[in-house]
């Protein structure tokens, strides 16, 4: 297993991140996340573009946009040869922690309905499916909408105030 470190994306990473999005997230669709759009998020004060950088290249990345009451995970991708090594979990945990620190407790995302691996990944991390959006992906593919309250990850059994 190759070591990696999490760090903010660099402007020079935008073409690589766009290529990863097109290969691993948008496969079979017209590319919507090009280098220009990703670069915009790198400069946006309300967005974080986080990379998992291996010894030779970026092996994974995530883009999250923060608002007052919620955050939206726009993209999360890990190169196939680096999957199942905890990279996606590390990226998401870092972004969730940032949201919690900023007082943003609800995270939302959409994923392709047929992506059973991603559905299982997010379910294991406490994300709840809250609806379907037919035609979400360029009018041809249904999305599943998921949400999670990140405060739940900070609670330990027996420490939560009882409900009335």
Cα 126 to Cα 92, 96, 148, distances in angstroms = 12, 12, 6
82 in active site: no
The catalytically annotated residue of 110, 127, 129, 132 is 110
Q: What ranges make up the beta strands (E) of the chain? A: 5-8, 47-53, 58-66, 70-78, 106-112, 128-137, 141-149
The catalytically annotated residue of 4, 26, 96, 122 is 122
7 in active site: no
- Give every CB contact of residue 68 below 8 A, 6+ residues apart in sequence: 104
Name the one residue in this structure whose structure tokens are 């590319």: 31
Q: Are 83 and 71 in contact (CB under 8 A)?
A: no
Q: Which residues are the active-site residues?
A: 110, 122
């Amino acid at each position: 297993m190759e070591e990696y470190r999490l760090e903010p994306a660099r402007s020079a990473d935008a073409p690589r991140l766009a290529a990863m999005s097109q290969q691993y997230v948008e496969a079979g669709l017209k590319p919507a996340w090009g280098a220009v759009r990703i670069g915009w998020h790198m400069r946006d004060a309300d967005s974080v573009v986080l990379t998992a950088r291996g010894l030779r290249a970026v092996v994974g990345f995530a883009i999250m946009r923060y608002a007052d009451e919620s955050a939206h995970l726009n993209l999360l991708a890990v190169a196939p040869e680096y999957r199942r090594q905890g990279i996606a979990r590390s990226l998401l945990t870092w972004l969730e922690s940032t949201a919690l620190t900023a007082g943003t407790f609800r995270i939302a995302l959409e994923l392709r309905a047929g992506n059973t691996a991603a559905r299982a990944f997010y379910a294991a991390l406490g994300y709840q499916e809250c609806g379907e959006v037919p035609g979400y992906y360029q009018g041809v593919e249904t999305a599943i909408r998921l949400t999670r309250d990140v405060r739940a990850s900070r609670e330990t059994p027996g420490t939560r105030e009882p409900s009335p």
